[in-house]
Amino acid sequence: MTLAWPRVVGPRVDARDKATGATRYSADVESEGALHAAVVRSTVPHAEVLAVDASAALAIRGVTAVVTARDLERRFGDELCGRRVRDMPLLARDKVRFPGEGIAVVLATTRRVAEDAAALVVVEYRELPPVLDALGALEPDAPRVHESPWRYDGAVVDPSDPPNLQSGLVEGDLVAVDEVLGRAAHVVTRTYRTPSGYQGYLEPQCWTASPRPGGGVALLGTAKAPYRLREQTAKTLGLALDAVEVEPAPLGGDFGGKGGVVDPTLCAALALWANRPVRLALRAGEDMTATDARHPSVVEVRVGCDADGTLLALRVDAVFDGGAYAAVKPIPSANLHGMAECALGYRLEAFFVRSRIAYTTTVPKGHMRAPGAPQAVFAIESALDELASAAGVSPVVLRRRSVLAGGDRDAYGHVWDEARGTETLDAALAAGDAAPRPKDRGRSGWRRPAPSGWRRGRGVALYARPTAPPATTSLRLAPGDDGRLVVELPFPETGTGSHSVVREELAASLGVDPERVEVRQVSTASLPYDPGVGASRVTVGLTAAVRQLAGRWSESGGTEAVTIETGSGTEPPALSFCAQVADVAVDPETGQVLVLGVVTAADVASVLRPRSHRMQIDGGAVMGYGFACLEDLLEGDGQVWATNLAEFRLPTAQDVPSLRTVLVEGGRGVGPANVKAVGELSNVPTAAAIANAVAEATGRRFRQLPLTAERVFWALHGEAGEEAGEEAGEEAGEEAGEEAGEEAGEEEGPA
């Protein structure tokens, strides 16, 4: 149905509670008589566990038990756990495969006692050769992380694969791509590297499991996909689906990190084992080092164009470090969708993409905001600048020649009715050339000054992303007190404003005051299946579902509760482009890179909540900036060395570049609300835009993130850099500025 009333954008439904401390997050919910769990974690990357001595821990007042894998196996059997590939035990059995892997759990009456006691558990190891490098892991003689990974339930590999392959993805035509590249006028082949990272939400994961009186277990906690968690917990513990109830709480940030099933399933198992409520609250450091970091990557790009700079073919060969288990990856391929779509933005005669993820003895790698895309796009969009340089055209001209336009067929064979690559690119460039406006950031028109004497550069990068049609979800609408309407949702508010969208869409659909609509998230016992939040699908699916719900409500007379379950949409996807222009200044004496500003042009259809929409774009650009310049978990020797937020630095309010957003409006989206995805858009091209700007500023190409001052310094100052030779290439981006414009805003005095 169409909207009965115009949509009224009011304050967020969750704003007042969040601003007064009333919102109850997972860690804020009391559970009477709960035992507190503290996990004893491996200190080594790869070892046999010979013995676990818990005697000292058990002697501590307040400790009720120390639970090992054996205890759980006796009760629940030996099912492994995982979102798709079920390869991870709840606690390590005879072997640990990464530092941080759980070996035992101390249960105690307080959290402090549990943690103190966990530190007293002594584990005896016999160390095995670690597997620390993803490329090396795929060599035939590499030590095995798993003996027979193809035997795991959900495995996507077979015995003929390299020893530690976790998943592989191949698209395109290798023969054709080599043939086309063979006749290209210009070809560059370059390798790019990115480090592992942390999603950076500020709410550590937290779970409370309670045995239910009638059997089964209720789980409350940081669940982005409650129904999928229910399924995996039930399967792992040998329970019926309805014996597990998952109640989501508002999420204090997710960014892909809160879909894990192993920790909550462990918590549920402990509660059933102890027959008491159990709380498993991770400390921030545990969350960073032992859950699901972003995949580090090594991406080789081979790309060619003809004499005038028209792209011909793209070949991408990526190897990702998948860590010790595939268990946290949610998609059936156990690969990364950013890789599956990485050749999307341009007209190409041929392409070939291979993405291999290797098992290593490091923390399992999971999803982080557009998984795989920031890594792939950093590599490809950097390589395009290098190709432009080789071909003697500007990076902008090179992109304009080949970016998808309406009616074009993409590399995968899909014909897009609407593809606004050029419009989006031009909008970003125009905004980059315009003077700063007072409203660009806060209202005082704040803009980072460029210190005098620093070299300036500007870079551009593009990203294309499809928005899928509405996915399955469910909703319930019931009459509440005082003429209110209560709408129940199957998933938590992550902060995107999804619950506010539901309220406003429903109010507009039914022609009622939004104040009359109350939005509640409910447990998995209450509604039919929903796949959870993520993949920029929430707004698309919800708006479609809300209209269906409103229609049914009106048909039924609006007196009794109505539940709906939507199927997947069949309409074609929409395509969004995101173009970014980054202006940087580089201190030639120290190598420091100051990102002065990032302009984001986003290709949009309808915007339902303008401020929420803008925050998705701003927050994404800042995350992209962090990926480009700051963030590195510093994995080495199998350990994560950046173990807390003092060492893994997130961008602060004063670190961030000046941000400007321009919307390329009027696009065709999907679903009845005509929307395009925005959540996983602006964080993707930022690193390449910045790296391209630094290349212009310095005449050096940086192919490894983050762009630290030290990396830039050694590239500029040659001598001592062991790292410098390899990563700073011979190619300078001298011509890069021509089209992008040299001047980036006004020159200001020294900082």
Residues 475-534 close enough to bind other proteins by CB under 8 A: 493-497
Least separation in angstroms between CB 263 and other proteins? 17
Site of tokens 């390798």: 191
Residues 82-121 close enough to bind other proteins by CB under 8 A: 112-113, 115-117, 119-120
Applying CB under 8 A, does 251 fall inside the site for other proteins? yes
Binding mask 2-41 for other proteins (x = CB under 8 A): ---------xx-xxx-xxxxxxxx-xx-x-----------
DSSP 322-349: EES-STT--STTSS-HHHHTTTTTB--S
Applying CB under 8 A, does 684 fall inside the site for other proteins? no
Q: Which is closer to other proteins, CB of 586 or CB of 744?
A: 586
- Contact present, 448 and 657 (Cβ < 8 Å): yes
- Contact present, 95 and 305 (Cβ < 8 Å): no
Quick one: which of 443, 483, 567, 730 contacts other proteins (CB under 8 A)?
443
Question: Which of these segments, 326-334, 376-384, 662-670, 702-710, binds other proteins (CB under 8 A)?
Answer: 702-710
Q: Which is closer to other proteins, CB of 25 or CB of 529?
A: 25
Least separation in angstroms between CB 6 and other proteins? 20
Least separation in angstroms between CB 191 and other proteins? 23
CB-based burial of residue 455 (10 Å sphere; 0-12 exposed, 13-18 middle, 19+ buried)? middle
Number of residues that bind other proteins (CB under 8 A): 96
Phi, psi for 599 (deg, rounded to 5): -100, 130
Quick one: which of 647, 699, 731, 741 contacts other proteins (CB under 8 A)?
647
Angle between the N-to-C axes of helices 262-274 and 69-76, in degrees from 0 to 180, rounded to the nearest 10: 80
Q: Which is closer to other proteins, CB of 204 or CB of 469?
A: 204
Question: Which of these segments, 66-74, 137-145, 155-163, 646-654, binds other proteins (CB under 8 A)?
Answer: 646-654
Site of tokens 């950076």: 200
Applying CB under 8 A, does 638 fall inside the site for other proteins? no
Encoded tokens for 356: 């291999």
Applying CB under 8 A, does 700 fall inside the site for other proteins? no
Quick one: which of 641, 665, 746, 747 contacts other proteins (CB under 8 A)?
641
Residues 204-233 close enough to bind other proteins by CB under 8 A: 204
Least separation in angstroms between CB 188 and other proteins? 29
Q: Which is closer to other proteins, CB of 287 or CB of 386?
A: 287
Quick one: which of 552, 649, 729, 731 contacts other proteins (CB under 8 A)?
649
Question: Which of these segments, 290-298, 328-336, 470-478, 703-711, binds other proteins (CB under 8 A)?
Answer: 703-711
Q: Which is closer to other proteins, CB of 148 or CB of 644?
A: 644
- Contact present, 681 and 706 (Cβ < 8 Å): no
Encoded tokens for 513: 């005051």
- Contact present, 369 and 680 (Cβ < 8 Å): yes
Residues 119-138 close enough to bind other proteins by CB under 8 A: 119-120
DSSP 455-493: EEEEEEEEEEEEEPPPPPEEEEEEE-GGG-EEEEESS--
Least separation in angstroms between CB 730 and other proteins? 23
Residues 704-733 close enough to bind other proteins by CB under 8 A: 708-710, 713-714, 717, 720
Eight-state DSSP code of residue 653: T
Closest CA to 184 of 306, 303, 311: 306
Quick one: which of 93, 144, 283, 455 contacts other proteins (CB under 8 A)?
283
- Contact present, 104 and 120 (Cβ < 8 Å): no
Applying CB under 8 A, does 592 fall inside the site for other proteins? yes
Quick one: which of 92, 327, 350, 593 contacts other proteins (CB under 8 A)?
593
Least separation in angstroms between CB 148 and other proteins? 38
Applying CB under 8 A, does 435 fall inside the site for other proteins? no
Q: Which is closer to other proteins, CB of 185 or CB of 656?
A: 656
Question: Which of these segments, 86-94, 234-242, 388-396, 440-448, binds other proteins (CB under 8 A)?
Answer: 440-448
Quick one: which of 99, 102, 534, 591 contacts other proteins (CB under 8 A)?
591
Q: Which is closer to other proteins, CB of 172 or CB of 514?
A: 514
Residues 361-390 close enough to bind other proteins by CB under 8 A: none
Applying CB under 8 A, does 630 fall inside the site for other proteins? yes
Least separation in angstroms between CB 193 and other proteins? 17
Q: Which is closer to other proteins, CB of 105 or CB of 272?
A: 105
- Contact present, 300 and 293 (Cβ < 8 Å): no
- Contact present, 163 and 138 (Cβ < 8 Å): yes
Tell me whether strands 593-603 and 658-664 are parallel, antiparallel or unpaired: parallel
Eight-state DSSP code of residue 19: H
Question: CA 123 to CA 135: how far, in whole Å?
Answer: 31
Residues 659-678 close enough to bind other proteins by CB under 8 A: 659
Question: Which of these segments, 183-191, 196-204, 572-580, 668-676, binds other proteins (CB under 8 A)?
Answer: 196-204
- Contact present, 288 and 345 (Cβ < 8 Å): no
Question: CA 712 to CA 504: how far, in whole Å?
Answer: 49
Instruction: Tell me which H or E stretch contains 300.
Output: strand 297-305
Q: Which is closer to other proteins, CB of 18 or CB of 93?
A: 18
Least separation in angstroms between CB 32 and other proteins? 13
Encoded tokens for 497: 């404003």
Q: Which is closer to other proteins, CB of 420 or CB of 499?
A: 499
Quick one: which of 55, 148, 568, 644 contacts other proteins (CB under 8 A)?
644
Question: CA 557 to CA 508: how far, in whole Å?
Answer: 17
Query: Quick count: other Cβ atoms within 10 Å of Cβ 156?
Result: 22
Encoded tokens for 708: 């630290």
Q: Which is closer to other proteins, CB of 516 or CB of 614?
A: 614
Task: Output the 3-class SS for 532-587.
Answer: CCCCCCHHHHHHHHHHHHHHHHHHCCCCCCEEEEECCCCCCCEEEEEEEEEEEEEC
Is the Cα dihedral 719, 723, 724, 726 positive or negative? positive
- Contact present, 584 and 625 (Cβ < 8 Å): no
Residues 48-67 close enough to bind other proteins by CB under 8 A: 59-62
Q: Which is closer to other proteins, CB of 15 or CB of 170?
A: 15
Quick one: which of 76, 152, 255, 351 contacts other proteins (CB under 8 A)?
255
Least separation in angstroms between CB 371 and other proteins? 17
Question: CA 671 to CA 470: how far, in whole Å?
Answer: 6
Question: CA 61 to CA 478: how far, in whole Å?
Answer: 49
Amino acid occupying residue 566 = T
Residues 445-474 close enough to bind other proteins by CB under 8 A: 445-446
Query: Quick count: other Cβ atoms within 10 Å of Cβ 350?
Result: 21
Q: Which is closer to other proteins, CB of 393 or CB of 586?
A: 586
Residue 395: cis peptide before it, omega within 30 degrees of 0: no
Question: CA 713 to CA 109: how far, in whole Å?
Answer: 53
Quick one: which of 73, 426, 655, 738 contacts other proteins (CB under 8 A)?
655
Least separation in angstroms between CB 662 and other proteins? 15
Is the Cα dihedral 367, 370, 371, 377 positive or negative? negative
